[in-house]
Structure 1
Amino acid sequence: MRRELFVRIVDALTDYSEYFKWRRDAIGRKGLSPLQKCTATIRQLAYASPADSLDEYVRMGERTALDCLINFCRCVIDVFGARYLRRPNAADTQRLLQMHGQRHDFLGMLDSLDCMHWEWRNCPVAWKGQFTRGDYGAPTIILEAVTSTDLWIWHAFFGVAGSRNDINVLNESPLFNAVLQENAPDVNFTVNGTSYTKGYYLTYGIYLEWATFVKSFHVPRIPKGKKSRRGRRLQERMWGERLECPKFVGQ
C-alpha cells in the first residue's frame, strides 16, 4: 500500500471516529496512536496475522487488536462505502465505455470478469471436502470480481466454496440481477452495422456463450503452442479479426 493511501485512510478515520483519535487515559498518558491502530488492522487483513502477534510490533494486546479490526471495518464502510462500495450508475457506465474505447478501441466493453481462489489455511476439517478442488490441493474460497482497466473493482462476490468453478459461481452471483430486472444503465453502440443496447464483459473460454460475454483470443507464447494445430488456428482467427471489434458471441 502506498504511503499516500495509508495516510488518507488514517486521516479519514481519525476525523470520523472517536475510537481512532489519539486520547489520554485517566493518569494523562497518551494511548495508542491512529497510526498504530490502522497498522495493526491492515496487517491482520493483508497478511492474516494473528491478533496476539502484534504485541511486539505495535505494542498492542490481542483484545485491543481485535477491537481495532472491528472498528476499522465499520468505519471504512461508513466513510468510503457511498463512493467505493456501490454499483455503477449511468454516469459511471458512460465513463467506463469511453475509457475502454480510448485505450483499447473496444466499443461497448464494461469491465473484465474473472474468478480467483484464496487459500483457506484454517478451514475446518468438516468443510474441507466442499472447499477443496483437485487442481489446488488445499481448501480455497472463490472471489468473483469485475474490474475496469483503471483497477476499480465494481463487483465482488466472495465466499463461494472452492470446489466450484466460474460457471457455478456465476449462477449464484447477483452480477446480472439489474439486467434481468431491466434496471441496468443503457449502453448503445454499433459494431459492423449492428446496433447493441447492452454492454459486455471481457472473459475467457470457460464462460458460457452469452451475448454479454466476449471471450479473449488465445495467444500461444511457447514454441510448442505456436506450432500446434489449435495454436495456428487461433492465431489465424485472432489476426484475421483484429482489425475489427471482437466477435459478439450469442448474438
Structure 2
Amino acid sequence: MSQFIVHLVEDEENLSQVLKAYLEKEGWYVKTFDNGDAAVQAIEEKPHLWILDIMLPGTDGYQVLKAIKEHGDTPVIFISARDQDLDRVLGLEMGSDDYLAKPFLPQELIIRAKKLLSRVYGTGQNEQRKIELNDYLIDPIGRTVVDKHGPADPVDLTTKEMDLILLLTGKVGKAFSREEIIEHVWGENYYGSERAVDDVVRRVRKKMPRVHLETLYGYGYRVLSS
C-alpha cells in the first residue's frame, strides 16, 4: 500500500473520526481539520488528496477549494449535505475532482479516493519511487519520511533536511562534497558558510538516528546502506 497523505476537512467530529479510521486502514497518513481557516493554513503542506466538506465554520469549502487550486492541482473530493445538484455543479466548475453527497458509506469514499489517486498519480507509482533504508520509508514524491518503529506521523523534517536526505539516499554509497550538497540543497547562488551543511547533517542524525550518515573528513558526506 502506498502511504499517500490525505487532508480531511470535516467539522462533524464523529464523522471525521470514522472517515479517518477508514482512510488509515488503507495505510494512508490522514490529517484532520474542523474548520476552513486551519485547512487553508495547511495548503502548503501539499498532501496527495483533499477530502473537503462544503459547510465549514469560518472559511467555507468553496473558499478552501479556490485556495487549494491557486496553489497547484492537488485533487479534491467534495462532500456535502446541502443541495446536491447545485454543490456538484459549483464544485466541479471550481475544480473539484469528485463529489459525494451526505449521507454516504465510508467504503464508497475509499473507492472514490483510490480511483482518484490512481488516476492522478498512477497505480503503484508512488510506492515504486519510495526508498526504504534502515526501516525508514522515504517518499520523494510526498517529501515525507516515516519511521517504521516510531509514531504514524512522518518525521518532522525542515525543507533543507528533507532536501539533504533525498540527495544522499537517492544515491546510497555515493560521496557528496560540501560544495555539491550546497549546490543541490541551497542552490548555486548561495554564498554562506559551508558550516550550514554540517548543521543540517547534525539535525538529520538526531531526527533519524538509524541512518548511517558517514562523514568524509575534509570532503563531505555519504549515506551507507547499513
Q: What TM-score comes out, normalization by structure 2 length?
A: 0.29
Name the one with the larger strand percent.
2
Larger radius of gyration: 1
Q: Which has the higher contact order (CA 8 A, sep 6+)?
A: 2
